[in-house]
Structure 1
Amino acid sequence: MADVQAVAENRRVSPDFLHKPTLTGDRALLRPFRPGADLPALAAAIADPEVRRMTGSAHHPPFDEDHLRRWYGSRNEQDDRLDLALVDRAADRCVGEVVLNEWDGPNRSCSLRILIGPGGRDRGLGTEAVRLVLGHAFGHLALHRVSLHVYAFNPRARRVYEKAGFVAEGVLREALRDGDDRVDDVVMSVLAHEWARHRGRP
């Protein structure tokens, strides 16, 4: 019974995740998924060896097309998380995704995850996309804390997060096996009062 009450309380204070906004920047656009049009780019990004390594997914079997079609076909209906397609405005094509998930209602916090395929890298799309979704998280959803994880072998991603205001707050030591090596997992976060001060440009 206590678990049922906890779930109900978590739902009661849930932000409006069912609303899937369109967030527009100079280079990046975040919008609801268009599964038919976006699926080829998303499937290619998820299968990319660098993406698989940087997200800690290299040891997991790849997703098949049917699974991805069902997954992305259901994202716009979720009320406990926000999944948005990341679009390169210059090319007018989906190059990845941005996600707010792992909602913690009593503490008004959630996690952020971003994935960018080869066609969207090294052009500032990641930094702008993170700033856009944080603006929505703290402005529209009234969150208090947004956190993420980044592996120590991914300094490029860490730099993107730092530019958007994330602060390293701890290390999960040797949390990932990477070939014969063990890699640290760095926990980072940004808080509402920090965002109010710097708006993603610390």
Structure 2
Amino acid sequence: MFAKKPTLHGDRVTLRPVGPDDVPGLIELTSDPEVGRLTGSHGAPNDAAAAQWYATRGDHADRLDLAICDAETGEYAGEIVINELDEDNLSCNLRIALVGSRAYGKGYGTEAIRLTIAHVFATTPLHRISLGVYAFNERAVHVYRKVGFVEEGRLRDALRWDGQWYDEIVMSVLRTD
């Protein structure tokens, strides 16, 4: 379904297929403790694994991995991914991560999500895009609602971080929304 990996252009961001040149940005992203907390990622970054990961994303027709780049400078600002494709139920998952404070508050995430949703619904038969976000990530919850995601429920105590439990909010957007 995602054999062709597009480049999508917005006012603030360009979304393009990830590749080996993006590995330093991915390492910056996965090394940031705040990004780790927001994504619930407990593991330590591994440079070799990051290089292998980004080198092989284009080989997978069941997912779409795009680098979020500043539209003016081309600088890597994060990634947005469509994965967990369920062709029988015409649904998939969306995840996004920005490199940290240098990318926050600039509208990159909002525009990247809008571009990606528009692309998915315009070029595939998919009906539903879902995601999970931890309840403490109020900035992300606000953005997801702004772009049309609707809260469906909560997974109670889904994340244990620094000895505390946090809920995961499940959200989705439908083609008919």
Q: Normalising by the residue count of structure 2, what TM-score does the alignment of the two structures yield? A: 0.96
CA contact (8 A) 2:19 2:57 kept: no
Matches within 5 A, 1:130-169: 130-169=113-152
Residue 123 of structure 1, aligned match among 82, 97, 106: 106
Residue 66 of structure 2, aligned match among 78, 81, 84: 84
Counterpart residue number, 1:48: 32
Residue deviations 1:122-142 (CA, integer Å, cap 9, x gap)? 100000000000001111112
Counterpart residue number, 1:74: 56
- List alignment gaps of at least 5 residues for structure 2: none
Counterpart residue number, 1:197: none
Does residue 28 (structure 1) correspond to residue 13 (structure 2)? The answer is: yes
**Secondary structure in 2 matching 1:107:** coil
Tell me which amino acid in the other structure corresponds to 1:22: T
Q: Normalising by the residue count of structure 1, what TM-score does the alignment of the two structures yield? A: 0.85
Does residue 192 (structure 1) correspond to residue 170 (structure 2)? The answer is: no
| Distance across 1 between alignment mates of 2:45 and 2:163 | 25
Tell me which amino acid in the other structure corresponds to 2:160: R
| Distance across 2 between alignment mates of 1:76 and 1:95 | 19
- List alignment gaps of at least 5 residues for structure 1: 1-14, 195-202
After TM superposition, the structure 1 stretch with the greater mean CA deviation from structure 2, 90-99 or 103-112, is: 90-99
Deviating beyond 3 angstroms after TM superposition, the runs of 4 or more aligned structure 1 residues are: none
| Distance across 1 between alignment mates of 2:163 and 2:46 | 28
| Distance across 2 between alignment mates of 1:191 and 1:184 | 23
| Distance across 2 between alignment mates of 1:89 and 1:42 | 18
Counterpart residue number, 1:94: 76
CA RMSD, 1 decimal: 1.0
Name whichever structure is richer in strand by fraction. Answer: 2
Percent identity for Structure 1 against Structure 2: 49
| Distance across 2 between alignment mates of 1:163 and 1:24 | 20
Residue deviations 1:144-196 (CA, integer Å, cap 9, x gap)? 000000000100011111111000010001111121211000000000010xx
| Distance across 1 between alignment mates of 2:129 and 2:121 | 9
